[in-house]
Structure formats: C-alpha cells, structure tokens
Structure 1
Amino acid sequence: MALNFHQLHIFHTVAEKGSFSHAAQALHMTQPAVTMQVQSLEDYFGTKLFARSTKRVELTESGRALIPFARRSIELMKETDIGMSKFTHMLDGRLHLGASLTIGEYILPRLLGPFSQEYPNISVSMKVINTKQLLEEVLNHQLTFGLVEAEVSHPDVHTEAVLSDELRLIVPKQHPLADRERVTVDEVLQFPFVLREQGSGTRRVMEEELEKAGYAPDALRIVMELGSTGAVKSAVEAGLGISILSQSSVRHEAALGVLKVKEIDGVRFDRSFHAIYLNSTLLPISAVTFMTFLRERDLSQWL
C-alpha cells in the first residue's frame, strides 16, 4: 500500500477534532470509512497513531511525530491549488458558495459575469444570507465556503481577506447634509438613522469604527432596522433617515442623484470582504480558482 494525501488529511482532521465521529462529520464521510483510513495509515507505518478511549482519541508518540508532516502536506496541497488555479481556464464543475447580503446583492453579480466569461464551464450557485446565518451554515457543513462583510473569529473557521470595500454616509437628495462637501460625526449624530439589522457585517463594521473614534453605538438615534441593503436604501430615499452603507451598493442611486454619498471627517469605514471556510476543509479547485480571481484581478472596472 502506498502512502496518500487523503489518509494524511483524514488523520490530521481526527487529531484536530479529537473524535472519529466529529472528523467524519467535518469530512462528509461515514465514521467507519474514517476509521478504516486511519487503520490503513497505521498499518502502513506499523504503529498506532491514536490511543482510543470511550470519550476521546489522543495522539500517541508516533501520532504526534506525524502531525507536522500531515500539516505540511495539507498546506502544500492548498498552495498547489492556488498556484495552478491561474491556468485552469478549461476547468469545469460547479461552484457553490454563500454570500452575505451586500456582497451577494451588489458585489458578486457584477463579478460573476466576467468570471463566467473566463471560466465558461463552471456553473455557479450562490446562497445569499446574512453573516451570522452564513457562519452557522459553514459550521454545520451546509455550505463549503462563503464570502462575508466582516472578519469572523471562530476557532474552527479559516478567514481570508479577498476584496476591499468602503462604507460611506448615505443621505437623501433633499437632506440638510446633501450639499455639504464633508461632515463631522457630531453633525451626523443629530439625525435619525436607518440601519441594517444586528448580525449584519455592514452594521458590525460601522459600529466598530465609530467605537474606535470614541462614539458608542447607542449614540446613534436609530429609528428603523431593516433586513436588507435594498430596504435601507429605499427608506433613506423616502426621507426616513440617513445610513452608512457600502458605496458599491448605492452606485446606481448616486448616479441618478436620488441619494448622496458623503465622507465623515475623522472616520473611515474601510473593510475587507472575507472568504470563510472550515479549517478541516480542502476547498474544491473551482472555489480556489474563484478566490484567486477575486484577489488577483483588477475588479474596479466592474465595480
């Protein structure tokens, strides 16, 4: 029997999860299949890699010695996929991903067309939900990977910046601030706000940057919370309040003049859009290719 990467990946996942059953769930395999692959690896090396108990498996001395080699093999495989993704123009298959609301509604639709032209044999399926829901689906193995508007901190999740974005103050065309070149935070706080719901990446970035500038989130006079960027834009256009949104999401309304986009002195709402996926997941080559496309192309021509 020859040593293979698949077995090393399974071994590493069992060690990381501390359980054959949890590793099987993470790898979308049955527990007997995981056990069989680990046993094959133990037969190959002629040593036990795990000490098994009723509650948890622990690495033996030989298992601990194998871990760094398994980890390096996984990293090398990831680097190989990234390196080769630049040349996979004849690649076919299916790209299934999740996207948080602003990305899914306003960013990716402008990028999927150029991506599909370059990779015409990859079919795309995208689920659009908020950041909190997307993280839950990744953790529950309902989605392989997703793109979110705020960095996610979770021990089981890998987070990687792939796109840049900036939030700006959005006001209706007849608003007192509409013709001002620049405004201060104190001036902005005098007006009612229409915001995205708690749990959205846009809301989180806005609140974090205001806190860094010395303003507590409860300093905002919030009159309405809405579940989509489109609903927030419509409410602002109707004069119900002002908001802070991705400038990419209001490009059309700003061009028509129905909404005005403003900077706030002393505060910048710069952010990165992040790809998230489980640490135990090796992404399919279609997903790696898409992430390489996002990182390395000049996207400004489409955004």
Structure 2
Amino acid sequence: MEDRDWLILQVLFEQKNITKTAQALFISQPALTSRLRSIEEYFGIKIVYRTSKGVHFTPQGEYIAKSAAAMLLTLRNIKERVTDMNTTVAGTLRLGASGYLTMYMLPRLLKLFKEEYPHVEFKLTTTWSRDIFNLVHNQDVHVGLVSSDYGWQGKQHLLFEEPICIASTSEIDISQLPKLPRINYQTDALIKALIDKWWRENFSEPPSISMEVDKLSTCKEMVVNGLGYGIIPTMIVNNNKNLHKIILTDKAGAPLLRRTWMLYHEEMLEMNIVSAFVEFVKNTDFPRVILSQR
C-alpha cells in the first residue's frame, strides 16, 4: 500500500468516476485501474464495482475510503516531523490566507522570510477567512492569516488593525450616501455584517448599488476612476492622495476596525519551520510590509 493509494481512494470516493479521478491525479485510466486491483489485493476484499452509472463502493471499501483523509494527514505529519528533526529550518510551510492579505501583504512577507530561510518552500491556500479558520482547525495548514475574528480558541496573534472608510474621488455629504452610486464587492461575511450594521444604524433606506464586483481590488479601481464610492479598508487607499476618505464610526464615535490575525495550534510550534515563521511574523511591521509593495 503506497501513500498515493490513499489519495486515489480519497479522490475516487469524491468523484465516483474513474475517468475524472484519473484526470484529477494526472494518471492514465489503466494505471488507476491497476492500482485499485493492488489495493483490493492488499486488503483482501472487493473495494469498488463499476456500473454504467459510475463507481460504487462496497461497505468495506467506503470505510477504507473515508479513512483516507486521516491516513494522508498522519503520513504527512510523520514526514514533516522527520524532516524537522534536523536543526535547519527547511521543508514546506503550509499557509492559508484571505484574498485581501494574499494580494496586499503576503508576497513580500514570504519573499523576506525566504531570504532569511532559503531552504523553505510554501504551499498556499487562498480563500475566505471562515474557510481558513477551518483549515487551521483541521491542521490542513500550519498557519492561517485571516481578516475576521471567528472566535479561534488556539494560539493567535493580532497582526494589525485598520479603520474602514468611505472612499471616493470627490467630497461626499454622508447624509446623501443612499442616493449616490456605490461599488459593492464580495467580502468576508463578518466584515459585510459589520458594514451592514453600520448602514442600518445610520440610514433607513438601502444603498444605491451601481456595481457588484468580484473583489476588493476591483472595487478600489472603480472608485479611483470615479465610478462611485466604496466602503473599504483604509490601508489599500491611504497612499492615494486623490481620494477623499471618511472613517466609519459607531454610535460612540469609535472607528470601525478590520482586524487581521495569525492563527495556529500551539503544538505546531514544535516544528522548526512553523516556529521560525510565527516569530518572523510577530516581528514584522505589517503596515510597512503592505505599503512597501504599492
């Protein structure tokens, strides 16, 4: 039973199709079929049977396939721990980061870290903060960098916080905001909830959404070109002197803040590569790192 056989079982159980599984794993269908026969011989049971409607797992095969994820995680952890027995900071660091951080901070941060630890490689997953939270929880990544607080119970470190603002190319009378064109963008659910709550506390009518765009960077470019206003984190527009900015505040007059966190499990610090990265990040001036890229 090879390591790759567990991956074959995992993907086949997800796809329920030989052709799609072979394509996903970049192997030929005959090679995949041959490995399945070898796996069945190893366990001494029938794992799958094929019909015109696809692949079906026997009860024993389903149990083995559902165990594949745990086996792959165990094997990966063993390899990482063995590699980490060397005092050199080396190996593959698995990271999860929100799209906002990946675009505006992570490239330079990883460049600086690799300059200090040249034997490190990276495996990066970019998705929503809520999904990064789950990736860290399940140990699919060593460290997560998120832009929302989902109540993480493990180790965490506040990287920076930034006010949320209304950005536009011309001065805005905030009382007229519902009548002005707004550029809306997809963002993390908690950030959206924070902005929506502020809106409801200040206006009795909905915003006038003129554009729905895919991400924050697209919204910023639309705002810069005078196509409407955006409600966005201040850090990505602070150096643009042509934009007018109004900081959002709550009823007590305190600014609405977007906080960025580093999340990890304490036991992960036993690995040299993770410990080195966590300490490196803690000692990094994040506003400087972000702004130096722009």
TM-score by length of 2: 0.59
SS of the counterpart of 2:27? coil
SS of the counterpart of 1:47? coil
Alpha-carbon distance, 1:163 to partner: 1.7
For 1:120, the equivalent position in structure 2 comes to 118
Matches within 5 A, 1:84-103: 89-91=89-91, 100=99, 102-103=100-101
Change (3 A) 1:40 1:295: farther
Quick one: which amino acid aligns to residue 180 of structure 2? P
Which whole-Å deviations, capped at 9, do the CAs of 1:114-169 have from their partners, x for residues lacking one? 23223435688xxxxxxxxxxxxxxxxxxx9641356569xxxx997822336711
Looking at structure 1, the residues matched to 231 and 278 of structure 2 have their Cα atoms a distance apart, in angstroms, of 24
For 1:38, the equivalent position in structure 2 comes to 36
Looking at structure 2, the residues matched to 240 and 71 of structure 1 have their Cα atoms a distance apart, in angstroms, of 47
Matches within 5 A, 1:149-160: 149=128, 151=130
Q: Higher relative contact order by CA 8 Å / sep ≥ 6: 1 or 2?
A: 1
Looking at structure 2, the residues matched to 28 and 261 of structure 1 have their Cα atoms a distance apart, in angstroms, of 52
CA contact (8 A) 1:194 1:226 kept: no
Looking at structure 2, the residues matched to 110 and 146 of structure 1 have their Cα atoms a distance apart, in angstroms, of 16
Quick one: which amino acid aligns to residue 30 of structure 1? S
Task: Answer yes or no: is 1:64 the counterpart of 2:73.
Answer: no
Change (3 A) 1:162 1:91: closer
SS of the counterpart of 2:42? helix
Looking at structure 2, the residues matched to 193 and 30 of structure 1 have their Cα atoms a distance apart, in angstroms, of 53
Matches within 5 A, 1:127-166: 146-149=125-128, 151=130, 162-165=144-147
Alpha-carbon distance, 1:57 to partner: 1.6
Alignment match of 1:169 (pick from 165, 168, 189) = 165
Alpha-carbon distance, 1:91 to partner: 4.3
Quick one: which amino acid aligns to residue 166 of structure 2? I
For 2:206, the equivalent position in structure 1 comes to 219
Matches within 5 A, 1:146-295: 146-149=125-128, 151=130, 162-165=144-147, 168-171=164-167, 175=171, 187=175, 189-190=177-178, 192-196=180-184, 200-201=186-187, 207-211=192-196, 215=200, 219-223=206-210, 229=216, 232-233=219-220, 236=223, 241-253=228-240, 259-260=244-245, 262-265=247-250, 270=258, 293=277
Alignment match of 1:28 (pick from 26, 39, 52) = 26
CA contact (8 A) 2:10 2:65 kept: yes
CA contact (8 A) 2:98 2:146 kept: no
Which whole-Å deviations, capped at 9, do the CAs of 1:6-43 have from their partners, x for residues lacking one? 11221222122212222222223222222111111112
Change (3 A) 1:188 1:123: farther
Change (3 A) 1:11 1:261: same
Looking at structure 2, the residues matched to 207 and 73 of structure 1 have their Cα atoms a distance apart, in angstroms, of 38
What 5-or-longer segments of structure 2 have no aligned partner? 133-137, 148-161, 263-272, 288-294
Q: How many residues align?
A: 246
SS of the counterpart of 1:57? strand
CA contact (8 A) 1:195 1:224 kept: yes
What 5-or-longer segments of structure 1 have no aligned partner? 125-143, 178-185, 275-288
SS of the counterpart of 1:162? strand
Change (3 A) 1:219 1:82: farther
Alpha-carbon distance, 1:299 to partner: 7.2
CA contact (8 A) 2:164 2:232 kept: yes
Bigger drift between 62-71 and 43-52 goes to 62-71
Change (3 A) 1:13 1:123: closer
Change (3 A) 1:88 1:8: farther
SS of the counterpart of 2:239? helix
Change (3 A) 1:263 1:245: same
CA contact (8 A) 1:193 1:242 kept: yes
Over the matched positions of the two proteins, sequence identity in percent amounts to: 21
Task: Answer yes or no: is 1:15 the counterpart of 2:1.
Answer: no
